[in-house]
Amino acid sequence: MKKKSIIILSMFCFVLLESCNSQTKKNQTKSEKPDMEEPSIKEIDLLNLKYIEKITDILKSSNLDLKEGQETDAPTIFGYKKFESKSSKILKISNKNLSKGDNKLILHYNEENNVVKLLQIFIYTEDEQKGIIEILNSNLGKTTYQTEKKGNVQDVINGELVDTNVKYREKISCWEKNNIIYFCSYKTYSNNKNELVLFCFNKNDKDILEFIASFGSPYIKDSFSKK
């Protein structure tokens, strides 16, 4: 009986040892496998947006996320939110860095599906203003609409809108490519505080057209409806 117990105990120890060896080999095999690197995400060029992209995808391609921008609710009647940033990670087009001083961009996106519907870029520095105009002309070709206006900057004094001594000249240019509108307003002032504003959007998006109309500029819609 004692001999039989010894045999059974020996068999048990053998099975246990084999089990441990097998597990050790599995762990070694697992540890020997190289870590799989996450595939890199290609950076999205804002000049090539189709306005079907999600805000999260655009930001991820620039190594940003929503919490890194100045997120503010747009008028709720239109159902848009906005992401605002001065970061050099995203404030650029065609690899041209536009991040300097108070220059910034705003991405307006649908609060239900996060799809970006409108891009605004505000440029206040001279070199970047020239750079963005060169890029638009180079990549989009001939403008589809141009106009100019000039006058005096107005201000509210004692409850009345009056002309100031500051004169301005505004050159409005518009390009269209694959139904995407690139509307550029470039204002120069007699006090040298110049500004360039770029609007980009899909002209067939009726909702965004209503939203843009709320900004109060008739030239935006005129730029592609009266070609």
DSSP string, 98-148: --STT-EEEEEEETTT-BEEEEEEEE-SHHHHHHHHHHHHHHH-S-SEEEE
What pTM value is reported for the model? 0.78
Q: Which domain holds residue 125?
A: 46-225
The neighbour count for residue 91, using CB atoms within 10 Å, is 22
In three-state secondary structure terms, 18 is: helix
pLDDT tens digit sequence for 171-195? 999 999 999 999 999 999 999 999 9
Q: What is the mean pLDDT of residues 184-208?
A: 95
Residue 146 lies in a domain: yes
Residue 80 lies in a domain: yes
Residue 150 lies in a domain: yes
Residue 23 lies in a domain: no
Q: Residue 223: is its pLDDT beyond 80?
A: no
Residue 180 lies in a domain: yes
Note the pLDDT of residue 67. 75
Residue 159 lies in a domain: yes
In three-state secondary structure terms, 48 is: helix
Q: What is the mean pLDDT of residues 100-113?
A: 94
Residue 19 lies in a domain: no
49 φ/ψ sector (left φ>0, alpha ψ -120 to 50, else beta): beta
Confidence of residue 97 (pLDDT cuts 50, 70, 90): very high
Residue 28 lies in a domain: no
Considering its fold, how many domains does the chain have in total? Answer: 1
